[in-house]
Chains A and B, each alone.
Chain A
């Protein structure tokens, strides 16, 4: 909501503040000022001048030499190329050293352009006559300005006075951010009321009186509101003997400053009242209204209607229409119809000031694809009691401007009259909520400045209907706090029972995941929770793969963001691809983010949100690097049992020979592998990439941060190395299973120290060597202890077709 300082001052005459003071104080009292613009910021030293004499320039056909009276007694000489100057005209003149805002092409120069005296083709020129564009304005807002050339003042302008003032540019426009609960502040009057309260000045709203010209409005128009649920109030007044013409300069200026283009007196009045009272109005040519009757009803489904912008629009049956005896003449609260609009030969006019259901207007505007200033106001939900004030104000302006004769009376269809809300007042509880000690009298004073009156008899505050946000004591507390000043409220810390700060166990596990990933060189990424359904094909998933059962967003930002992810892989691969594309080397990323698995589709209850710890990398490192990260993580969260890796993971998107499910305590807790080359191609990753996905909900139950010291071994260990030739198909995991199961209670550890395939080893076999360590906690092991364990191990290995090498 933009408002000029001069318009606010019209209702707060004693206001005397700078733009910055206004900004600061209003922001602290709740009407946030986002910024302001002084209209004359880039204008300086510009006066009203009068052209006394025009002569041809001796050396230039397109230039003339003017003698200009600037009120100093001594005329100055100005050379101009403007085509429209004539002797006797009053014009804006920027004097030597002054500033204009821009060029006459309308292009603004921040900080303005300095004008200096000089010679034009050898003839001295001591200033410049200005076009409206050079003054930083446009013909849109100053329609009287000529298309090309110098702005011409009316004769009433006083030579020598400030041209900035004469044009009303000695003003500041504030941009306010109005919160949605303060519908009343989407109007100059509303903001002025807040301004008066903020600066403790008197608020003087317009005094509205309509003289009238006799007659009876009921003889001119009948109104029938069929769908009162969408139209709680409809006010209509009639103006006859219309005299269309331009509105006065003061009205044009106020509208212009608020960014509204002046058109004619009637249109300008409706716009003026919309700004002033926040109540949109509409003017119909009464002679186009068939049967001189208005019917407010819902549209028929598919009803077609041409709005006054000339567009044909299709309605549905929830859009409210204004109709006459035969046809629709307007879309309620959004835009009038071409068929009833005011034209130059209008004689009698119908003013409409109605109150429509805000939600319906908002949805209708969206449905028919037409959002207007009017619908923007209506959709906030207007006060029906404001409609009458506004229509009377419009009629008053018609009379003041001599734009027509107002017929006596108003047609008013008002169902369910809105009454003021009464809120029980309790100063102690307000203080208890705010943590203040403000006296009751002080509170009542604050409330009174914004017309929240105290009823002593009932101990209630009466909230006028325009304050639809005041409903309970907390609302009164806010009003008190605003005017007491939020800064004046003390600062304390909550007292009462102490509580322990806690990070839940799951988040502690996630924190370790981050630490480990980072120690291992992975940086944390974040990707979107929604993606394209096309990713399933990109990942080569089977048509029947349950991962395809994704939750769909009903109003996505396009197909690429239309489903909730059921795998974290696409985000990771997209990020790796992004890095690959940027030629980043040795990239390692991890992400902690949810996937969303529906329990059933379509969704009837909330889905299972599963936190995935996803790792991805390309460049240095291989499958076993990734495996190492997984095991470091498990180790750090107290999962010390041996992980099992099942190569039959069945992941189509991974290399068929380089993938595994990670099994812990018999449960699949994740998978890892090398990316399938076809998938790598699809993502345009030109290097071998490795991923691991750990399903944290499956892992967290195994995690523990309990630790127990088990002592440091006192007795010596005995180490035995074994070397064997074994079929290639036998996995190291199977050998280790044998060592683990047969090693007995003295088995402490084992590790693979050599693996070899190729020459010297027969076809289809590999050579594998392990070092096995035995130790007892309570004695030095004897040969017999170790050799019996070794015998069992060797026997077990023979069943895997291992040939022991000596």
Chain B
């Protein structure tokens, strides 16, 4: 019996080692361990074994079975690993083939610049406010200290609907509108479309965008204006950016200034981009004129404020080195895709 089992085992191992694939391995299992298998038939033949011998033989059969199963399992694992490896080898792809993209669209450079500016000022506690694009002359001019007959009101620059209603030439009327609501303190920016009667060319457009800023509170100073805009310039153009405030004139601010930033291309050394000066003009600003405060119902004895206006296209053109303003309104996808 012992020899018989021994033979079965050796025979089984031989067959297992000879198996070429998983299915022939399975055939071996069935042939030996299956219901009608060799080993099973040994068990079935137990009735011919003497009763006192039976436990011993049973144990021998079980041992043999375990040994065969172990070898079978090992062979199977090995074979599976081999198969997987082959499969993986067959599945090699060319990772340099083109990606299948979703073709996501692109944001207009004006909007990218605007969102930058909004992010900066919202972070400083400013509220974004919108105003009408078709505006009363009263808000666009008069309440901003630009009376009838002022050259800034010249028809050459302003599109008129009629005597009282114009296409706003600046976002500054939002200043007057917000101040009139009388909720103080004010910290707001107001972006939007403005219109000037300029023929279309590489540097002019009859329609463009500005961002107005206004802060009104007690004890607001010109130093606060400087600090705020310096912070803004650093955020927008980089930590190294320097600012230069030059005296200027706007009817609705006094004192007024124009602000230059150190050229972010050459760092202020002077290059083609900044026309050799090292500086680039980016915005106008000033302390809200006491007459304007007064006309908008705010006591100029108690409150002061500052205001600034940035040309959005100017920022976009500068930041992205766009050399022709017309590109912004043609909507050529070859242009838009670059942003």
* A561 CB → nearest B CB, Å: 7
* Minimal Cβ-Cβ distance residue in B for A515: B107
Q: Is the CB of A557 within 8 A of B199?
A: yes
Answer whether residue A492 sits at the interface, using C-beta atoms and an 8 A cutoff: yes
Answer whether residue A507 sits at the interface, using C-beta atoms and an 8 A cutoff: yes
Q: Is the CB of B104 within 8 A of A481?
A: no
Q: Is the CB of B108 within 8 A of A496?
A: no
Report chain B residues within 8 Å CB of A557.
197, 199, 206
* A-facing residues in B140-190 (Cβ within 8 Å): 149, 151-152, 154-155, 159-162, 165, 167, 185, 187
Report chain B residues within 8 Å CB of A489.
222-223, 226, 245
Answer whether residue A526 sits at the interface, using C-beta atoms and an 8 A cutoff: yes
* Segment at the B interface, from A25-33, A235-243, A274-282: A25-33
Q: Is the CB of A435 within 8 A of B223?
A: yes
* A529 CB → nearest B CB, Å: 6
Q: A518-B104, A554-B160, A609-B134 are in contact. Are A494 and B247 (CB under 8 A)?
A: no
A494 touches which of B122, B149, B224, B249 (Cβ 8 Å): B224
Report chain A residues within 8 Å CB of B235.
none
Q: Is the CB of A502 within 8 A of B331?
A: no
Answer whether residue A711 sits at the interface, using C-beta atoms and an 8 A cutoff: no
Answer whether residue B217 sits at the interface, using C-beta atoms and an 8 A cutoff: yes
Bound-complex Cα distance A581 to B17 (A): 72
Q: Is the CB of A477 within 8 A of B122?
A: no
* A67 CB → nearest B CB, Å: 45
Report chain B residues within 8 Å CB of A602.
162
Over the window 310-339 of chain B, the binary record of Cβ atoms lying under 8 Å from chain A Cβ atoms (1 yes, 0 no) is: 000000000000000000111111101100
Report chain A residues within 8 Å CB of B212.
none
Answer whether residue B268 sits at the interface, using C-beta atoms and an 8 A cutoff: no
Q: Is the CB of B130 within 8 A of A504?
A: yes
Answer whether residue B219 sits at the interface, using C-beta atoms and an 8 A cutoff: yes
Which of A493, A551, A602 has most chain B Cβ within 10 Å?
A: A493
B331 touches which of A487, A504, A514, A579 (Cβ 8 Å): A579
Q: Is the CB of B223 within 8 A of A491?
A: yes
B160 touches which of A432, A492, A553 (Cβ 8 Å): A553
Answer whether residue A784 sits at the interface, using C-beta atoms and an 8 A cutoff: no
Q: Is the CB of A606 within 8 A of B331?
A: no
Q: A556-B159, A584-B334 are in contact. Are A529 and B207 (CB under 8 A)?
A: yes
Q: A474-B290, A524-B107, A552-B161 are in contact. Are A503 and B331 (CB under 8 A)?
A: no
Q: Is the CB of B130 within 8 A of A497?
A: no
Over the window 533-571 of chain A, the binary record of Cβ atoms lying under 8 Å from chain B Cβ atoms (1 yes, 0 no) is: 000000000000000000111111100010010000000
* A551 CB → nearest B CB, Å: 6
B159 touches which of A28, A473, A553, A579 (Cβ 8 Å): A553
Report chain A residues within 8 Å CB of B161.
551-554, 564, 603
Bound-complex Cα distance A681 to B315 (A): 38
Q: Is the CB of B107 within 8 A of A514?
A: yes
Q: Is the CB of A494 within 8 A of B217?
A: yes
Answer whether residue B123 sits at the interface, using C-beta atoms and an 8 A cutoff: yes
B254 touches which of A475, A502, A528, A582 (Cβ 8 Å): A475
Report chain A residues within 8 Å CB of B162.
554, 602-603
Over the window 344-380 of chain A, the binary record of Cβ atoms lying under 8 Å from chain B Cβ atoms (1 yes, 0 no) is: 0000000000000011001000000000000000011
Answer whether residue B221 sits at the interface, using C-beta atoms and an 8 A cutoff: yes
B249 touches which of A181, A477, A498 (Cβ 8 Å): A181
Report chain A residues within 8 Å CB of B7.
none
Bound-complex Cα distance A525 to B332 (A): 8
Report chain A residues within 8 Å CB of B256.
478
* B-facing residues in A23-65 (Cβ within 8 Å): 27-30, 32
Answer whether residue A780 sits at the interface, using C-beta atoms and an 8 A cutoff: no
Range class of the A interface residue count: 35 or more
Bound-complex Cα distance A28 to B244 (A): 9
Interface size, chain B (Cβ < 8 Å): 83
Bound-complex Cα distance A302 to B221 (A): 55
Report chain B residues within 8 Å CB of A575.
330-331
Report chain A residues within 8 Å CB of B165.
603, 606
Q: Is the CB of A481 within 8 A of B111?
A: no
Report chain B residues within 8 Å CB of A492.
221, 223-224, 226-227
* B186 CB → nearest A CB, Å: 8
Report chain A residues within 8 Å CB of B244.
28, 487
Bound-complex Cα distance A482 to B287 (A): 14
Q: Is the CB of B332 within 8 A of A564?
A: no
Answer whether residue A472 sits at the interface, using C-beta atoms and an 8 A cutoff: yes
* Minimal Cβ-Cβ distance residue in A for B290: A474
Answer whether residue A698 sits at the interface, using C-beta atoms and an 8 A cutoff: no
Q: Is the CB of A501 within 8 A of B223?
A: no
Answer whether residue B96 sits at the interface, using C-beta atoms and an 8 A cutoff: no
Q: A478-B255, A481-B247, A499-B185 are in contact. Are A526 and B290 (CB under 8 A)?
A: no
Report chain A residues within 8 Å CB of B219.
432, 495-496
Q: Is the CB of A588 within 8 A of B123?
A: no
Report chain B residues within 8 Å CB of A603.
134, 161-162, 165
* Minimal Cβ-Cβ distance residue in A for B288: A474
Answer whether residue A594 sits at the interface, using C-beta atoms and an 8 A cutoff: yes
Report chain B residues within 8 Å CB of A564.
134, 161, 167
* A474 CB → nearest B CB, Å: 4
* A120 CB → nearest B CB, Å: 39
* B203 CB → nearest A CB, Å: 15
* A20 CB → nearest B CB, Å: 10
Answer whether residue A179 sits at the interface, using C-beta atoms and an 8 A cutoff: yes
Report chain B residues within 8 Å CB of A362.
151, 154
Bound-complex Cα distance A637 to B187 (A): 28
Report chain A residues within 8 Å CB of B226.
486, 489-492
Q: A180-B151, A590-B105, A607-B134 are in contact. Are A501 and B247 (CB under 8 A)?
A: no
Q: Is the CB of A578 within 8 A of B331?
A: yes
A517 touches which of B105, B152, B333 (Cβ 8 Å): B105
* Minimal Cβ-Cβ distance residue in B for A561: B206
Bound-complex Cα distance A493 to B126 (A): 13
Answer whether residue B106 sits at the interface, using C-beta atoms and an 8 A cutoff: yes
Q: A501-B123, A589-B333, A606-B135 are in contact. Are A481 and B249 (CB under 8 A)?
A: no
Answer whether residue B76 sits at the interface, using C-beta atoms and an 8 A cutoff: no
Answer whether residue B100 sits at the interface, using C-beta atoms and an 8 A cutoff: no
* Minimal Cβ-Cβ distance residue in B for A32: B246
* B226 CB → nearest A CB, Å: 4
* Minimal Cβ-Cβ distance residue in B for A586: B103
B127 touches which of A477, A499, A607 (Cβ 8 Å): A499
Report chain B residues within 8 Å CB of A607.
134
Q: Is the CB of B122 within 8 A of A527?
A: no
* Minimal Cβ-Cβ distance residue in A for B152: A180
Q: A478-B247, A492-B224 are in contact. Are A501 and B125 (CB under 8 A)?
A: yes
Report chain A residues within 8 Å CB of B16.
none
Bound-complex Cα distance A783 to B269 (A): 82
Bound-complex Cα distance A498 to B123 (A): 12
Answer whether residue A633 sits at the interface, using C-beta atoms and an 8 A cutoff: no
Q: List 29 A-B contacts (CB under 8 A).
A: A28-B247, A30-B247, A434-B221, A434-B255, A469-B249, A472-B291, A474-B290, A477-B287, A478-B255, A490-B227, A492-B223, A494-B187, A494-B224, A497-B185, A499-B125, A500-B127, A504-B129, A517-B105, A524-B105, A524-B336, A526-B108, A527-B329, A529-B195, A552-B161, A564-B161, A582-B334, A584-B333, A602-B162, A603-B162
7 closest Cβ pairs, A-B complex: A435-B223, A435-B221, A525-B331, A30-B247, A501-B122, A478-B255, A179-B249
Instruction: Write the residues of chain B forming the contact surface with A, with a CB cutoff of 8 angstroms.
Output: 102-108, 110-111, 118, 121-130, 132-136, 149, 151-152, 154-155, 159-162, 165, 167, 185, 187, 193, 195, 197, 199, 206-207, 215, 217-224, 226-228, 230-231, 244-249, 254-258, 287, 289-291, 304, 328-334, 336-337
Instruction: Write the residues of chain A forming the contact surface with B, with a CB cutoff of 8 angstroms.
Output: 27-30, 32, 179-182, 358-359, 362, 379-380, 432-436, 469, 472-475, 477-478, 481-482, 486-487, 489-504, 506-507, 514, 517-530, 551-557, 561, 564, 575, 578-579, 582, 584, 586-590, 593-594, 596, 602-603, 606-607, 609
New A-B pairs, 6, CB < 8 Å, besides A475-B254, A499-B185: A472-B254, A477-B287, A499-B127, A555-B155, A578-B332, A586-B103
